[in-house]
Amino acid sequence: MKNNFFKTFLNFTKNLKTTGAVYKTNKKVEQEVCSKIDKTSKIVIEFGTGYGNITQEILKRMPEDGKLYTFEVNEEFCTTVEKNIKDPRLFVINDSAENFGKHVKEPVDCFISTIPFTLIPKEVCLDIVNKSYEALKPERYFCKALYSKFHFKKFSNIFDDCSTATVLDNLPPVHIYYCKKTAIPNKMKGKKKKRFGLAKAF
């Protein structure tokens, strides 16, 4: 990537209300958040491209015939990523995460998200997570990097099996949420789930 430290810092800070961060996430976060992607992950959706650091890690792990749809609200970030990452598997979409269903019709093998949920209205967050659960293939993951564990219970209310890992050497430390859709949803296993239309979940 040709972006230097100051350009990234300046543009993240200038757009703090949508980036929710002053700098891109570090290598360890890139690897942890992408750890569920392998050569069977043919359709991947990323929310929050930024300058494409995680985008590149996803592409490294995906199969040659895969497709990565990455959603980013900042037009300048999209233009830079399109210029810097030349990969026929990559589709950069300058639209908000909640509209992913307008662009992607296939069942999804993995979602990777770094969008700042704390800065997005809770109804929109709920909509994104519910739609992602619906679009995900069984036994697959929605992986999310967040600065707090505050949202963990809310994700557990929607997904069937959730766990976290913490990357301490990012500044600030990052929590990775691994949210799995199981073949047999928890609801069927007798566990009461609060899914769909419950704005309270966020």
Ligand X SMILES: C[S@@+](CC[C@H](N)C(=O)[O-])C[C@H]1O[C@@H](n2cnc3c(N)ncnc32)[C@H](O)[C@@H]1O
The residues that touch ligand X, with contacts defined as CB under 6 A, are: 18-21, 24-25, 47-50, 53-54, 71-74, 77, 96-97, 114-116, 120
Nearer to ligand X, 50 or 66 (CB): 50
- Tokens encoding 164: 């976290």
**8 A C-beta contact, residue 148 and residue 36:** no
Shortest Å, Cβ 156 to ligand X = 22
Q: Among residues 55 and 156, whose Cβ is nearest to ligand X?
A: 55
Closest approach, Cβ 61 to ligand X, in A, equals 15
Q: Which residue, among 126, 67, 123, has the nearest Cα to 93 in the 3D structure?
A: 67
**β-pairing, 161-167 with 174-181?**
antiparallel
Strand-pair partners of 121: none
Is 99 or 186 the residue whose CB approaches ligand X more closely?
A: 99
Hey, which residues does 71 pair with through a beta bridge? 47, 93
| Shortest distance in whole angstroms from residue 75 CB to ligand X | 10
Peptide bond into 172 cis (omega under 30): yes
Output 176 or 179, the one with its CB closest to ligand X.
176
Task: Please report how close the Cβ of residue 91 comes to ligand X at its closest, in angstroms.
Answer: 14
**Do 41 and 63 contact (CB within 8 A), yes or no?**
yes
Q: How far is the CB of 186 from ligand X (least distance, A)?
A: 27
Residue nearest ligand X, Cβ-based = 50
Choose between 20 and 66: whose C-beta lies nearer to ligand X. Answer: 20
Which segments within 51-192 are labelled E, that is strand? 67-71, 90-93, 108-113, 136-146, 161-167, 174-181
